[in-house]
Amino acid sequence: MEFKEFENARLSLGLSVGDTCALVDSNKRSYARWRNKGDVPDEKFELLIETTKISKDDNKQLTASIDYLRVRFRTCQFQRIINEVMGLGNKPFISEVYSRYGYTGFESFNHINLYYAVDDDQQGTLIEMTGQGCREFEWYLINEQKRSWTDFFKKCYEFSSSFEDKHFDRKDFVRFTRIDIALDEHYSEIGNYDLGRLNEKKEAGLISRKAKKYRFIDCESNKKSDGKTIYFGTRQSDVMLSFYEKDYEQCAKLKLELSTYHKLYGLKNRYEIRLNGDASNKFIFDHIHKKTDIGLEAIKVLNYQLQVFEIKDSRRVLDIEWYSIFGVTDVVKFEMKPKYFPIGEKEYQWYERSVAGVRKRLEIIENITGKSRLEEIDELAEVKEKFRPQLDYLAEKYGVEILYD
Torsion of CA 19, 22, 26, 30, to 10 degrees: 20
CA distance 146 to 140: 8
Q: Classify residue 123: in a domain, yes or no.
A: no
Based on the number of CB atoms within 10 Å of its own CB, is 288 exposed (0-12), middle (13-18) or buried (19 or more)? middle
Q: Are residues 364 and 386 in the same domain?
A: yes
Q: Are residues 261 and 297 in the same domain?
A: yes
Q: Which pLDDT does position 46 carry in this prediction?
A: 86
Output b/e per residue, 377-396; b: 16+ Cβ within 10 A: eeeeeeeeeeeeebeeeeee
Residue 192 pLDDT > 60: yes
Of 305, 332, 359, which one is at a domain's C-terminal end?
Answer: 332
Phi, psi of 348 (to 5 degrees): -60, -45
Least confident stretch, 237-251, 317-331, 365-379: 317-331
Q: Are residues 215 and 259 in the same domain?
A: yes
Q: Which pLDDT does position 167 carry in this prediction?
A: 58
The confidence band for 163, taking pLDDT boundaries of 50, 70 and 90, is confident
Q: Are residues 226 and 316 in the same domain?
A: yes
Q: In 255-332, which ranges are continuous DSSP H helix?
A: 258-265, 277-290, 294-305, 320-326
Each residue's pLDDT tens digit, 250-271: 998 888 999 999 999 999 999 9
Each residue's pLDDT tens digit, 328-384: 667 788 999 999 999 999 899 899 989 999 999 999 999 999 988 999 999 888 988
Which is it for the CA torsion 287, 113, 159, 336, positive or negative?
A: positive
User: Coil, strand, or helix at residue 320?
Assistant: helix
Q: Are residues 204 and 262 in the same domain?
A: yes
Q: Classify residue 381: in a domain, yes or no.
A: yes
Q: Are residues 234 and 314 in the same domain?
A: yes
The amino acid present at 31, given as its one-letter code, is Y
Q: Classify residue 87: in a domain, yes or no.
A: no
The amino acid present at 59, given as its one-letter code, is N
Q: Classify residue 166: in a domain, yes or no.
A: no
The amino acid present at 330, given as its one-letter code, is D
CA distances from 135 to 118, 131, 151, 274 (A): 29, 6, 16, 17
Q: Are residues 255 and 311 in the same domain?
A: yes
Q: What is the pTM (predicted TM-score) of this model?
A: 0.85
Q: Are residues 230 and 264 in the same domain?
A: yes
Residues with Cβ within 8 Å of residue 24, at least 6 apart in sequence: 44, 47, 48, 51
Q: Which domain holds residue 368?
A: 345-398
Q: Classify residue 65: in a domain, yes or no.
A: no
Q: Are residues 257 and 328 in the same domain?
A: yes
Residue 70 pLDDT > 70: yes
User: How many distinct structural domains can be found in the chain?
Assistant: 3
Q: Are residues 355 and 224 in the same domain?
A: no
CA distance 360 to 378: 15
Of 196, 180, 184, nearest in space to 262 by CA: 184
Please state the rounded mean pLDDT for residues 133-149.
Answer: 97
The confidence band for 9, taking pLDDT boundaries of 50, 70 and 90, is confident
CA distance 400 to 345: 20
Q: Classify residue 172: in a domain, yes or no.
A: no
Q: Classify residue 135: in a domain, yes or no.
A: no
Q: Are residues 297 and 251 in the same domain?
A: yes
More confident position, 166 or 317 = 317
Of 332, 308, 322, nearest in space to 194 by CA: 322
Q: Classify residue 78: in a domain, yes or no.
A: no
- Reduced to 3 DSSP states, what percent helix, strand and coil does the chain have, rounded to the nearest 5? 45, 25, 30
